């Protein structure tokens, strides 16, 4: 029988370089605390639940790391003791199936935590690749263990992160893999608008990435994007970024349901 594996011909996305991560170094505790306190995403992020006192007790250095598109924060099966919080930009989590297909299984944006499995001593379950210019902070496992043993709320916050990832995964499966390509694309656009930048401008994946998310070829992705653009749902497309007409998008999705 013939194999119709999507993306088989392009075994890898381009720019797949791993970025060296600095080894955590000792730092004055209050210095780190001040940095975290001032962090713009703290309210949405893992440390949002921590009191100022708890923050002040942080005795570990948290690195701030920048990635450009295509660079990896970590890669699947690597063992490490680092957990990441996305401060800006969009990161994709992708896996290679037994059959060799590369599929994107989730997107992480501002405030999302990735690589939680490192906290359990497990290897990473997926590649984490920057889709845009990305800023992450790098937390050593020991820090999180420390905080959660000291602070009961924090353990809860961790569990909520896991549950959130699980919800995302299930939603991805039910929304982005069923129905015709055109509708899947609409739902993808809706999801991208969650990770949107300021002012309704969203990041547009490459056709190849779209294909790996929706399980279609990049040719089909291209055709469908054109048609979505023709429908006036996607406008003012400027390279990697675009604006979308939310009202029209929602209406198109509603029509699909009826």
Partner DNA sequence: CGAAAACTTGATTAGCATCAAACCAGGTGG
Partner DNA sequence: CCACCTGGTTTGATGCTAATCAAGTTTTCG
Task: Tell me which residues touch a copy of itself (CB under 8 A).
Answer: 1-6, 93, 95-101, 103, 105-106, 116-117, 119-120, 122, 125-126, 148-149, 152, 155-156, 158-160, 162-163, 165-167, 169-175, 177-180, 182-183, 187, 215, 253, 256-257
Question: Shortest distance, CB of residue 111 to a copy of itself, whole angstroms?
Answer: 17
Write the CB contacts of 96 (distance below 8 Å, at least 6 apart in sequence): 76, 102, 103
CA distance 108 to 106: 7
CA distance 33 to 52: 8
The answer to the question of residue 236 lying near DNA (CB under 7 A) is no
Q: Which residue has the tokens 């381009």?
A: 14
Question: Shortest distance, CB of residue 176 to a copy of itself, whole angstroms?
Answer: 9
Q: φ, ψ for residue 94 (rounded to 5)?
A: -130, 150
Stretch that binds DNA, among 45-53, 101-109, 152-160, 220-228 (CB under 7 A): 220-228
| Cα 123 to chain centroid, rounded | 18
Q: In DSSP terms, which residues pair with 91 in a beta bridge?
A: 108, 130
What does 148 interact with, of DNA, a copy of itself, none (CB < 5 to 8 A by kind)? a copy of itself
What does 200 interact with, of DNA, a copy of itself, none (CB < 5 to 8 A by kind)? none
DSSP 120: G
DSSP 46: G
Q: Give the residues lining the site for DNA (CB under 7 A).
A: 1-2, 4-6, 8-9, 14-15, 180-182, 206-208, 215-220, 222-223, 225-226, 239
């Amino acid at each position: 029988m013939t194999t119709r594996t999507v993306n088989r011909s392009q075994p890898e996305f381009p720019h797949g370089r791993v970025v060296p991560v600095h080894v955590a170094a000792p730092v004055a505790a209050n210095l780190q605390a001040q940095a975290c306190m001032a962090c713009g995403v703290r309210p949405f992020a893992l440390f949002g639940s921590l009191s100022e006192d708890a923050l002040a007790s942080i005795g570990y250095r948290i690195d701030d790391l920048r990635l450009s598109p295509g660079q990896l924060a970590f890669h699947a099966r690597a063992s490490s003791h680092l957990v990441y919080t996305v401060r800006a930009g969009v990161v994709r989590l992708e896996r290679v199936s037994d059959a060799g297909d590369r599929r994107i299984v989730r997107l992480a944006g501002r405030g999302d935590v990735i690589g939680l499995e490192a906290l359990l001593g497990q290897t990473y379950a997926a590649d984490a690749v920057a889709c845009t210019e990305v800023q992450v902070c790098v937390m050593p496992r020991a820090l999180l263990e420390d905080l959660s043993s000291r602070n009961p709320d924090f353990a809860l916050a961790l569990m909520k992160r896991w549950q959130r990832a699980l919800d995302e995964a299930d939603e991805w499966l039910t929304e982005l893999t069923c129905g015709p390509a055109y509708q899947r694309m609409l739902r993808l656009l809706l999801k991208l608008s969650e990770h949107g930048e300021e002012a309704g401008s969203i990041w547009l994946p490459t056709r190849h990435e779209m294909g790996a998310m929706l399980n279609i070829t990049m040719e089909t992705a291209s055709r469908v994007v054109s048609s979505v653009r023709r429908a006036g749902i996607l406008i003012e497309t400027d390279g990697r970024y675009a604006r979308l007409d939310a009202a029209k998008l929602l209406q198109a999705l509603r029509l699909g349901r009826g």
